[in-house]
Structure 1
């Protein structure tokens, strides 16, 4: 086989953005050592290239214009086939792919040594983070509604979190030593530890990738999440128009409100028994399947609130706290609008410039 292909399929909210960004930042350095994180051209980031490929494979548009990702998967496969050594493909929306979609991947990559990599995080942190992420992406459901759907296994996020099902699908037909579970270190750990664990799977010497990523995809507090949720409801945010999405998700949610420090969103106390049972099911599957584990399975154990600490319902945030967040959001949006060029002034300037050129002898 001429190359090894590592498919990092998720899960969402397990440091995937950080890992992908670090691979992209160090792509040239890694390529010199035979490790490739391919893109289509220098004008297209690897992250966007892999996202469109995943969308195309799954037959989704993710709220964008219909057909905007068409051809993305074959384009990625062509890039993989042009390289030798190790190739990394990474996007978290790949996790809940169907057996037919996974079979297509394996056919398209036949002749290569395919590995599947799945990063996993404890549910006590992962589920609240998933609700916040869904709100940043335009959803309008309350935390209570989201948790009810999670218990029923219905949201896309939880299908991507269901480790036995995801790896049972992606690992079908692969030797267990080519299926890798990377556990996300506990809260408070040096995030470089997650990178080093991923390097161990991919066969990367960390010295080959000296550039660190500043992208943290930091979570929101309860008040900030509620303000974004209510904004989604007020403006009817459904379609993921790139400019609109950039304004609300990146400029407001990730650029302004993530820096604030309201109470964190935590798993509801009565769900810890369920989370413990799910985690035990994961552990039993991992041990029984014989797949490769990088890190410790103890990292997956949900940690309950310290004794005496009360759970705060993120659906019941005081109006004054929400008002303070809303004012910060309004200030940020006003500054953003003021800093953007006026289209009419730009048009007038272009017309005047063209007129001056025409007057010249």
Structure 2
């Protein structure tokens, strides 16, 4: 039984949400062509199964109840071994894995032809998106502090974005033709951008795009500077990063940071002008490594070079947003939370109804 496994390891903020959702939506039609995007249970989506499997492989436990990921990697590996043809595993938190964790993945998938796929994007777009994502997830650092730490290699995102480091680790022992870099195309209309990225991924995986006719409308959309600052201040007020209260953490992340506030029009978070020289140096280092390593490239490595903004496009500092602009976003957030609270059932009222219903049953006997 021949089996080819593609490990799509990230990077974060490279359209992974869109790619994973499109694979999931079309899992049935893809399976008809021996292309599998597996799950570990009929009641668990492939995306959740891959997230838990990645957590388990990395020895991490977050994003759910304690122990929710335990055993998930082994369960996923067993499911993979039951498949023939092409199997795709995808989650962006795999990118910064340590050598020992990568070695375990390769051992557990032994017997298959293993490929590593890495979607890469220029730092001019990547770093603003990464800071926003960290704020969505509960961090409270300023944009400047985030960028300073990234330049020093002291953030999780640096370990996930640095192409030579990531692919040097994941590609160790693999022939270079089995290591694939898919470049994220330049910004364009959202549908055109997603379709081009999808076609590049299909070319990498050996998928005919017609096998996956359903498009995805999922994307991890960006916040503007005012909205990001409101979430950041809310994180500080509620100490989200330390407490991780699931009762309200999901509300802030899903309903506000990825829902209500992305609808607002606000200046985009951009890379500061003084950071472009450094970002360009990193891009040249990445490109030199890619071209020297002989790995497969789908797209154009030139797309990894950041594009400087036009001279007449002023930079707006996300750390210095006027209070009036933040107020509008904060009021929208408060309104959304109020509507959500009104929709939710009152526990005391529910209890009263249950007691009355039980009493009525007793009287009717």
Unaligned stretches of 5+ in structure 1?
A: none
Contact 1:63 1:241 in 2 (8 A): no
**Counterpart for residue 309 of structure 1:** 313
CA contact (8 A) 1:63 1:240 kept: no
| 2:211 match | 208
2:228 aligned with 1:219: no
Asked if residue 232 in structure 1 is aligned to residue 235 in structure 2, the reply is: yes
2:240/2:249 contact within 8 Å kept: no
In the alignment, what sits opposite 1:283? 287
Shift of 1:359: 4.7
Q: Residue in 2 aligned with 1:70?
A: 70
Q: Per the alignment, do residues 38 and 352 of structure 1 end up closer, same or farther by CA in structure 2, a change over 3 Å counting? A: farther
Out of 318, 335, 339, the residue aligned to residue 335 of structure 1 is: 339
Deviation at 1:96, TM superposition (A): 0.4
By how many angstroms is 1:347 displaced? 2.5
Verify: 1:274 aligned to 2:270, yes or no: no
Say whether 1:193 aligns with 2:162.
no
Deviation at 1:115, TM superposition (A): 0.4
**Worse-matched range after superposition: 310-319 or 189-198:** 189-198
Residues 273, 187 of structure 1: CA spacing in aligned structure 2 closer, same or farther, 3 A cutoff?
Answer: same
Partner residue in 1 for 2:81: 81
Match of 2:135 in 1: 135
- Number of matched residues? 361
5+ residue gaps, structure 2: none
- Between the aligned partners of 1:240 and 1:183, the Cα distance in structure 2 is 34
TM-score relative to the length of structure 2: 0.96
Alignment of 1:138-217 (within 5 A): 138-188=138-188, 190=192, 191-217=194-220
Post-superposition offset of 1:64: 4.3
Residue 70 of structure 1, CA deviation: 1.1
Alignment deviations for residues 130-173 of structure 1 (CA, whole Å, 9 cap, x no partner): 00000000000000100100110111011100001100000000
Output one character per residue of 1:51-93: Cα deviation in whole Å (capped at 9) or x when no partner: 1111111111236443321111111111111211111100000
CA deviation vs aligned residue, 1:312-357 (integer Å, no higher than 9, x gap): 1100000000000000100011111111122222223333334444
2:50 matched to 1:55? no
Over residues 105-130 of structure 1, what are the superposed CA-to-partner deviations in whole Å (9 max), with x where a residue is unaligned?
00000000100000000100000000
How large is the Cα RMSD of the aligned pairs? 1.4
